[in-house]
């Protein structure tokens, strides 16, 4: 039996993680969860799984939970709550919170020797070197949940010396068939309409700008200890091949499946064992019929280029990239800026930043905060 603590229970990945736990009560239990403000969904989850520790994003949300709770549990708020959930018990932390707020709970969980199933890519983007250093010191396992990274994880074996490159597939997002000129007046509603995946709002916008793929290149660099020039991105609009590993003899191993996040979530918790997925009919390739691939156009998808450049530059550049992007996406979702402002704002923030070569945790937290404040005023 594996005990799980879950950050971000009310989100897209959080809800699917609870589906996985619910489907396999003989394999998994849940002892702690965090959510932000969605008390309606959280209350139902809490009454079903009865976690011992609960964290809410605001005091108001915590008060609603406390008033409605039918059993005794610790209910905390904000970063204190996230840290309490992350460090509770002895199991695996599933980090499915959105954004760099996931960084410090991840580090706290690692310090108490928890394995981390990581969906929260922003943590690895903003502070990959700190997470990896702590992983070396603690020996904990960091298991990818992101579909591309889970695919690569499943295609890798041995010590990676025989790997030529990692190939991340990209769906192209909501606007993949539009030129940049056609993006001038696109709406939030259009951008949230991802062709293949149903996901939270922030990652769906990242997917439309292709910043998601850029964050994923940086995530792959840290997760698999792979130099940037050995990480490729290819456009694959069906999202059936979730990613590939090319070996030095030209062999390419790919992971295929229907676009269903329960698969990588569950594998991160059950590996190396595989468990059935309730209600899944599996992949019917005769229905898919054809798979398509295109070379990436880095001028069309500027955010991808920006992210790869920031990753290669290293130091505090990825922190700025991530924080500027989080703020710009939030402004776009609030209809305060246009879609094309997102990558312009990120580019401006990167140009205005004076890089720190090896930022400490406190540097990262400070740069994250400052960058958000600056971008909010652009
Ligand atoms: N969705 C997907 O299919 C995939 C997601 N990912 C990654 O997983 C992570 C989660 O994505 P997704 O599930 O789509 O996101 P959602 O927006 O659907 O969910 C985010 C979760 O985090 C909580 N949350 C948000 N902000 C805060 C905060 N400041 N403090 C505490 N809790 C907070 C939300 O709570 P509430 O809603 O209650 O306010 C919610 O539970 C992201 O990093 C994303 O990039 C990676 C691969 C695929
Ligand atoms: C499901 C998942 O892992 C997302 O990150 C997904 O990859 C988004 O798709 P694209 O960024 O390829 O559009
Ligand atoms: Mn992904």
Question: Scanning the structure block, which residue is given the tokens 């990613």?
Answer: 243
Domain match, 38 and 166 both: no
Ligand 2, atom 8: closest residue by C-alpha: 207
For β-strands 241-247 and 231-235, DSSP reports them as unpaired
Answer yes or no: are the C-beta atoms of 303 and 211 closer than 8 Å.
yes
Residue 80 Cα to ligand 3 middle (Å): 29
Is residue 348 a part of any domain in this protein? no
Pick from 117, 119, 147 the residue to mutate for probing ligand 2's pocket: most ligand atoms within 8 Å of its CB. 147
Q: What is the pLDDT of residue 188?
A: 97
Report the separation in Å between the CA atom of 239 and the middle of ligand 3, taken as the mean of its atom positions: 10
**What is the structure's pLDDT at 278?**
87
The two three-digit tokens of residue 373, written as one number: 């404040």
CA distances, 65 to each of 14, 17, 56, 79, 137 (Å): 18, 21, 8, 17, 37
Token duo for residue 301: 């998808």
Residues 129 and 168 in one domain: no
- Give yes or no for a contact between 112 and 88, defined as CB atoms under 8 angstroms apart: no
Q: Are residues 114 and 8 in the same domain?
A: yes
- Final residue belonging to a domain, choices 119, 145, 171: 145
CA dihedral 107, 112, 113, 117 (to 10 degrees): -50
| 368 found inside a domain | no
- Sign of the C-alpha dihedral, residues 296, 298, 303, 305? positive
Query: Looking at the structure, do residues 188 and 105 belong to the same domain, yes or no?
Result: no
**What confidence score (pLDDT) does residue 281 get?**
87
**Of 93, 324, 129, 296, whose CA–CA distance to 218 is shortest?**
129
116 and 165 inside one domain: no
Backbone angles phi, psi at 256, to 5 degrees: -115, 155
ipTM here: 0.99
The reported pLDDT for the residue numbered 235 is 97
> Among all ligands shown, which has an atom nearest to the Cα of 7?
1
Q: Which atom of ligand 2 is nearest to the CA of 170?
A: 12
Structure tokens at 21: 């736990």
Domain span at residue 246 reads 161-258+297-313
With respect to residue 364, please indicate whether it lies within any of the assigned structural domains.
Answer: no
Of all ligands present, the nearest one to the C-alpha of 121 is 1
Please list every protein residue whose CB sits less than 6 Å from any atom of ligand 1: 8-14, 34-38, 57, 96-99, 101, 119-122, 146, 197, 199-203, 261
Residues contacting residue 180 through CB under 8 Å, at least 6 positions apart: 299, 300, 302, 340
Residues 136 and 15 grouped into a single domain: yes
Task: Write the CB contacts of 159 (distance below 8 Å, at least 6 apart in sequence).
Answer: none
Q: Is 204 in the same domain as 65?
A: no
CA of 359 to the centre of ligand 2 (A): 29
130 with 217, same domain: the answer is no
**What HEC string does 80-144 produce?**
HHHHHHHHCCCCEEEECCCCHHHHHHHHHHHHCCCEEEECCHHHHHHHHHHHHHHHHHHCCCEEE
pLDDT in tens, the chain (378 residues): 999 999 999 999 999 999 999 999 999 999 999 999 999 999 999 999 999 999 999 999 999 999 999 999 999 999 999 999 999 999 999 999 999 999 999 999 999 999 999 999 999 999 999 999 999 999 999 999 999 999 999 999 877 889 999 999 999 999 999 999 999 999 999 999 988 989 999 999 999 999 999 999 999 999 999 999 999 999 999 999 999 999 999 999 999 999 999 999 999 999 999 999 988 889 999 999 999 999 999 988 999 999 999 999 999 999 999 999 999 999 999 999 999 999 999 999 999 999 999 999 999 999 999 999 999 999
Pick the atom of ligand 2 nearest to 173's CA. Answer: 13
Distance CA 36, CA 123 (A): 17
- The answer on 187 and 132 residing in a single domain is no
Domain count, the chain: 2
Cβ burial of 101 (10 Å; 0-12, 13-18, 19+) is buried
Residue 169 inside a domain? The answer is: yes
Q: Which two tokens stand for residue 92?
A: 């695996």
* Domain end point (choices 121, 145, 169): 145
Residue 268 resides in a domain: no
User: Does any domain span residue 185?
Assistant: yes
Annotated binding site for 1-deoxy-D-xylulose 5-phosphate, which residues? 121, 147-148, 171, 194, 207, 212-213, 216
- Please say whether the beta carbons of 17 and 4 come within 8 A: yes
- Ligand 2: residues whose CB is within 6 Å? 146-148, 170-171, 173, 197, 203, 207, 212-213, 261
Helix extents (H) in 237-301: 262-270, 285-288
With respect to residue 279, please indicate whether it lies within any of the assigned structural domains.
no
Same domain, yes or no: 139 and 194: no
- Distance between the two ends of the chain, CA-based, in angstroms? 50
Report how far ligand 3's centroid is from the alpha carbon of 85 (Å): 25
Residue having the nearest C-alpha atom to atom 12 of ligand 2: 170
pLDDT tens string 210-267: 999 999 999 999 999 999 999 999 999 999 999 999 999 999 999 999 999 999 999 9
The CATH number linked to 27 is: 3.40.50.720
In a domain, 372, yes or no: no
At a CB cut-off of 8 Å and minimum separation 6, what does 187 contact? none
pLDDT of residue 158: 78
Q: How far is the CA of 286 from the centre of ligand 1 (A)?
A: 34
Protein residue with its CA nearest to atom 40 in ligand 1? 11
> Residue with the nearest Cα to atom 11 of ligand 2?
207
> How many residues are listed for the chain in this entry?
378
Residues 32 and 89 in one domain: yes
Last residue within a domain, chosen from 313, 341, 357: 313
Helix (H) or strand (E) segment spanning residue 148? helix 147-155
Shared domain for 217 and 127, answered yes or no, is no
- Please answer whether residues 95 and 7 qualify as being in contact, where contact means their C-beta atoms are separated by less than 8 angstroms: yes
CA of 160 to the centre of ligand 2 (A): 24
């Amino acid at each position: 039996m594996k005990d799980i603590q879950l950050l971000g229970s009310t989100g897209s990945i959080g809800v699917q993680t609870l589906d996985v736990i619910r489907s396999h009560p003989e394999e998994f239990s849940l002892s702690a969860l965090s959510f932000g403000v969605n008390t309606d969904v959280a209350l139902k989850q809490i009454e079903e799984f009865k976690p011992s520790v609960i964290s809410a994003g605001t005091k108001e949300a915590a008060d609603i939970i406390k008033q409605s709770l039918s059993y005794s549990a610790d209910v905390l708020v904000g970063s204190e709550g996230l840290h309490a959930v992350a460090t509770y018990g002895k199991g695996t932390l599933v980090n499915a919170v959105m954004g760099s707020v996931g960084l410090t709970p991840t580090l706290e969980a690692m310090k108490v020797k928890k394995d981390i199933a990581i969906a929260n890519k922003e943590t690895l983007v903003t502070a990959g070197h700190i997470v990896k250093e702590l992983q070396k010191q603690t020996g904990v396992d960091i298991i990818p949940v992101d579909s591309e990274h889970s695919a690569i994880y499943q295609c890798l074996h041995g010590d990676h010396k025989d790997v030529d490159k990692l190939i991340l597939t990209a769906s192209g997002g909501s606007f993949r068939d539009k030129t940049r000129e056609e993006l001038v007046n696109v709406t939030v509603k259009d951008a949230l309409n991802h062709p293949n995946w149903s996901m939270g709002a922030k990652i769906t916008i990242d997917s439309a700008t292709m910043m998601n793929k850029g964050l994923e290149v940086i995530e792959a660099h840290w997760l698999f200890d792979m130099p940037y020039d050995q990480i490729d991105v290819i456009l694959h609009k069906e999202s059936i091949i979730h990613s590939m590993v090319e070996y030095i003899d030209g062999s390419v191993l790919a992971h295929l499946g229907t676009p269903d996040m329960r698969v990588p979530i569950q594998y991160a918790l059950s590996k190396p064992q595989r468990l059935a997925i309730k209600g899944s009919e599996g992949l019917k390739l005769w229905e898919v019929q054809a798979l398509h691939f295109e070379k990436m156009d880095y001028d069309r998808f500027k955010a991808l280029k920006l992210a790869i450049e920031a990753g290669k530059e290293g130091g505090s550049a990825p922190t700025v990239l991530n924080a500027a992007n989080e703020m710009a996406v939030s402004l776009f979702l609030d209809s305060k800026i246009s879609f094309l402002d997102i990558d312009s704002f990120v580019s401006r923030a990167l140009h205005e930043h004076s890089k720190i070569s090896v930022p400490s945790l406190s540097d990262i937290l400070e740069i994250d905060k400052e960058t958000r404040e600056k971008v909010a005023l652009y």
